[in-house]
Amino acid sequence: MAKGLDCATKLTATSAKSLKAAGFDYAARYLPTSDWKGLTKEEVKAIQDAGLKLISIFEKNSIKASYFTLDQGIADAKEAEGYAKLLGQPKGTAIYFTVDYDAQTNDMAAIKQYIAGLNRTLVDYEVGIYGSYSVMVAVKGLVKYYWQTNAWSSGKVADFIHMYQNKNDARVSGIGIDFDDIKKEPGAWNLEVAPATKPVVKKYTVNKLINGYVNAADAKAKKNAKGTVKEGTYFIFNESDGMINVTTKAGAPGSWINPADNKGAASTTSKPVYHTVVKGDTVSELAIKYGSTQTDIKKWNNLNNDYLIKIGQKLRVK
C-alpha cells in the first residue's frame, strides 16, 4: 500500500526529498487560502521534483455545522478552482474539501447541501471530501474521491475510500505530518487525464422556480409534483418523451421537469444566446438544452423545414 502524508508546513526541495527518502509517495498540501500554510508554485515544483505525487486540500473554517450551506459550497468551489488554476493543477484531478470536526447525524443534510454547491460549481476538477467515518457513509455516491480521518471514527474504516488518515501529529525529517494510507488512486496531480475520452455531459438552464417530478410521465402530465427545481444550470441525467431529468451531480439521477414550465422565464430584453454546432447536435436537443423551442430556433436562423444544421454553424438558440 502506498504511503502518503498531509501537513501544514511548506515543503522545500530538501524536506520534500527527505520525505520521499523516508518512503512517502504522496504529499497532501493546502491550496493558498492562507499564506502561512498555502502552496506556492515553487513548492509545487519542489514536491514534484522530489518524486512525490501532490494532492490538493481546500480548507477555510469548516469546523462547525453552520459553515456548511449551498452558497458556501458554491463560493468555496469558485475560490478553490481559481487557486488550482493559478498553481497549474492539471484538469481532472481532485480537490479535497474538509469536514474537520465531529459531525453529527443532524449535520449531514447541511453537509450534503454544501456538496451540492461544490458539484454545481467546480468545473475543471473533481470533488473530494475529507471527514470522519460517519461523513464518508453519509455522502457516499455524492463525490468522486473520499479521504477518511481516524479522528471521530471510533475505529471504523469505510471500504470505499481512497485515503485513510491513520496517524496524527507525527514528526518525520523534523516536519510535523499526519500519516495517510493510499488505498486507491486519490486524484493526485500526477494522474494522467485524457479530456478527449471523457463523456460530454449536457447541461440545461432553468430560468425560474418550476415543479419537479418523480418520473417523465408525471412531468408530461404536470401532476403529482414532488418538490421544486430552483433557477440555475443543471446536468442532464436522462431525457424521455420530451421531458428532462436534471441533476446537480453529473451521472446521478435528479428530478424530472417539463420544459414547457420553463418557457417565458427569460427576460424579453436579454441578449440573444448563440451556439456553435458540434458533431451530434440537433435542433431538438439544442432547444431542450437552452430552454427554447425548435420553432424559435428555426425562425431565428432561417432554417428550412428539415431543420438541417452543419458542424461549425453559429446558431441563435435563445
Q: How far is residue 127 CA from its own chain's centroid?
A: 4
Q: Are residues 243 and 129 in the same domain?
A: no
Q: Are residues 275 and 181 in the same domain?
A: no
Sign of the Cα torsion 26, 31, 34, 39 reads positive
Q: Are residues 189 and 233 in the same domain?
A: no
Question: Among residues of the chain, what percentage have pLDDT more than 70?
Answer: 94
Residue 139 pLDDT: 96
Residue 193 pLDDT: 42
The answer to whether residues 82 and 125 touch, using CB atoms and an 8 Å cutoff, is no
DSSP state of 38: B
Domain final position from 193, 224, 259: 193
pLDDT at 54 over 50: yes
Domains held by the chain: number: 2
Residue 290 pLDDT: 81
Q: Are residues 88 and 209 in the same domain?
A: no
pLDDT at 197 over 50: no
pLDDT at 114 over 70: yes
Q: Are residues 148 and 256 in the same domain?
A: no
The answer to whether residues 51 and 19 touch, using CB atoms and an 8 Å cutoff, is no
Tell the residue number behind the cell numbers 424530472, with chain if given. Answer: 256
Of residues 117 and 287, the one with the higher pLDDT is 117
Neighbours of 229 (CB within 10 A): 23
Instruction: Report which residue type is found at 49.
Output: D
Instruction: Say if pTM beats, i.e. exceeds, 0.85.
Output: no
Of the candidates 199, 195, 58, which has an alpha carbon nearest to the alpha carbon of residue 115?
58
Task: pLDDT band for 252, please (50, 70, 90 cuts).
Answer: confident
User: 21: part of which helix (H) or strand (E)?
Assistant: helix 13-21
Q: Are residues 101 and 131 in the same domain?
A: yes
- Nearest 10 degrees: Cα torsion 127, 132, 133, 137: -40
pLDDT at 299 over 90: no
Query: Which range among 71-75, 176-180, 310-314 shows the weakest confidence by mean pLDDT?
Result: 310-314
User: 120: part of which helix (H) or strand (E)?
Assistant: helix 108-121
- Extract the C-alpha cell encoding 139: 455522502
Tell the residue number behind the cell numbers 473554517, with chain if given. Answer: 61
Q: Are residues 207 and 283 in the same domain?
A: yes
Mean per-residue pLDDT of the chain: 90
Residue 266 pLDDT: 43
Q: Are residues 160 and 15 in the same domain?
A: yes
Residue 192 pLDDT: 45
Domain final position from 158, 193, 228: 193
Mean pLDDT across the stretch 290-313? Answer: 83
Residue 194 pLDDT: 42
User: In whole angstroms, what is the distance from residue 197 CA to residue 241 CA?
Assistant: 29
Residue 199 pLDDT: 55
Q: Are residues 20 and 62 in the same domain?
A: yes
Of residues 25 and 270, the one with the higher pLDDT is 25
| CATH classification at residue 256 | 3.10.350.10
Q: How far is residue 235 CA from its own chain's centroid?
A: 12
State the SS3 of 185-251.
CCCCCCCCCCHHHCCCCCEEEECCCEECECCHHHHHHCCCCCCEECCEEEEEEEEECCEEEEECCCC
Domain final position from 164, 193, 222: 193
Q: Are residues 168 and 273 in the same domain?
A: no
Of residues 196 and 65, the one with the higher pLDDT is 65
Q: Are residues 272 and 217 in the same domain?
A: yes
Q: Are residues 142 and 59 in the same domain?
A: yes
Residue 281 pLDDT: 84
Phi, psi angle pair for 186, to nearest 5°: -95, 15
Q: What is the DSSP string of 92-108?
A: T-EEEEE--S---GGGH
Mean pLDDT across the stretch 105-132? Answer: 96
pLDDT at 263 over 90: no
Q: How many CA atoms lie within 13 A of 142 on its CB side?
A: 22
Of residues 298 and 186, the one with the higher pLDDT is 186
Segments forming the whole domain that contains residue 240 = 197-316
